[in-house]
Amino acid sequence: MASIPLLIVPFIIFNLGLAGMLGGGPAGPWEQVLFTIPMMSGGDWSMTLGDLTILIALILLFVEIMKSTRTSNASVVDHLLSTFVFVAYLVEFLLVRGAAHSVFFILLVIALVDLVAGFSVSIRSAGRDVSFN
């Protein structure tokens, strides 16, 4: 269970939005304002569903990078599953009309960073484990 890539969660959230399960108006669910906070400057700061989805993905990216620092046999499975998640993002971005959105592209880049960071951390830590006599 710990090997399941957490970046599948924003992927599922985005696809729920594509299926119309998250509501939204003519601009789609990603422009839907969730809340607005008045600032001391007089401006208003608004959080949209797209912003929240990206924020969730960034938090999960941090957790995924922390998971990649462990050295075990499960890390190989974790990297393999992260590769599958990235490929799913890429295929959907290229083939699904509704995925041609900036929110989905940012999620795709986050999945790529997770993939590259996971392999990089593993290679660096594996290099430290090898000793030559």
- pLDDT value of position 25: 64
Residue extents of the structural domains in the chain: 7-124
pLDDT tens sequence across 47-101? 999 999 999 999 999 999 888 877 676 677 888 899 999 999 999 999 999 899 9
- pLDDT tens by residue, 99-132: 999 999 999 999 999 999 988 887 777 665 555 6
Task: Report CA-CA distances (Å) from 82 to 9, 35, 86, 96, 127.
Answer: 12, 32, 6, 21, 21
Smallest Cα–Cα separation from 17: which of 26, 30, 7? 30
